[in-house]
Amino acid sequence: MLQIEIMIGVVVILLIIWVFISSRKSHLNKANEYLKKQLSQKEQWKQEKIMSYGQVQETKKQLIARIEEKFKDNPEQESLLKEIINDWAELKVRSFQERRSWIRRPQK
């Protein structure tokens, strides 16, 4: 009878140890996946060319000036290129603001 109780105790202890080990491994796997995701996102941000509002406006101004110089004879292409540049500038400013928005509004 004492041997059966000891066997049951050993089995219960082994079961508890197995549960702790497997739980720890799953948490470590989740943490490693999260870390890899964060590192890849950080690497993408490093490769992205970030421009402030002022830099975007300066680049936009330079591009439009060059377009006006080069496309004097073709107003249709000039207006199309200006529209494209304005859209580009708007997207750059928006991406800069959205990237920094988590600092001011972390809930979004």
DSSP 61-88: HHHHHHHHHHTTT-HHHHHHHHHHHHHH
Q: If DSSP codes are grouped into helix, strand and coil, which group holds residue 107?
A: coil
Give the pLDDT of residue 21: 83
The fraction of the chain above a pLDDT of 70, given in percent, is 89
Give the pLDDT of residue 104: 56
For the segment 39-60, what is each residue's pLDDT rounded down to a tens digit?
888 887 777 677 778 888 999 9
Mean pLDDT of 51-73: 90
Domain boundaries, the chain: 50-101
Angle at 93 between CA 91 and CA 96, to 5 degrees: 105
pLDDT tier at 105 (50, 70, 90 boundaries)?
Answer: low
Predicted TM-score (pTM) of this structure: 0.50
With tokens 């680049």, the residue in question is 59
